[in-house]
Amino acid sequence: MGDHAFIVDGMLGSLARWLRIAGYDSTYFRGLEDNRLLDETRDSSRIMLTRDRELYQRSQKLGLKSIYLESEEVKAQLSHLKRELGLELSATNSRCPRCNGLLKETPKADVQDLVPKKSLNSFDEFWVCGDCSGVYWKGSHWVKIRETLGST
């Protein structure tokens, strides 16, 4: 179930971040024109996610894998993908919401200068992005995603 990879259209930036946290490889292009997005989808064998019905119809005519998401709300979008693809939250595969890099669990002692004190005191598990060095913990975002997708 965890092997889906996505191309997320420019209207769905929040969804891209949530998918990455949930453990799905998600490429996100802001402001890329439709033809390029379709090319990328064809060349990458990823599933294109879009809220643009016309773009969706074009992708279907080209025989590309794509899913049309009607809702503007990220939780509803995730629920839709859960129904359609069996999407689930995979803590061990979590990716960087900012850059899609792989996260590595890192000892608290190594991040203590990088994390606000409040978070340092409230959480015991921390992750660092191998690409952009962003530091993450299981804050409110995580809880919302777990509620929506269910834990594994």
Residues forming contacts to Zn ion in the complex (CB under 5 A) are 96, 98-99, 101, 129, 131-132, 134
Name which of 87 and 96 has its Cβ closer to Zn ion. 96
Taking the complex as a whole, the smallest distance from the CB of residue 133 to Zn ion amounts, in Å, to 7
Beta bridge partners of 5: 25
Query: Least distance from C-beta 73 to Zn ion, angstroms?
Result: 25
For residues 99 and 120, which CB has a smaller minimum distance to Zn ion in the complex? Answer: 99
Least CB distance to Zn ion at residue 56 (A): 29
* Residue (of 70, 93, 90, 95) closest to 80 by Cα position: 70
CB closer to Zn ion out of 79 and 119: 119
Minimum CB separation from Zn ion for residue 104, in Å?
A: 11
The nearer residue to Zn ion, 56 or 136, going by C-beta atoms, is 136
Alpha-carbon radius of gyration of the chain: 16
What are the E-state strand segments in the chain? 5-8, 25-28, 47-50, 66-68, 103-106, 126-129, 135-137
Can you tell me the distance from the alpha carbon of 35 to that of 148, in angstroms, rounded to the nearest whole number?
A: 32
**CA 104 – CA 94 distance, rounded (Å):** 9
What's 10's DSSP letter?
G
Nearest distance, CB of residue 129 and Zn ion, angstroms:
3
Pick between residue 120 and residue 135 the one whose CB is nearest to Zn ion.
135
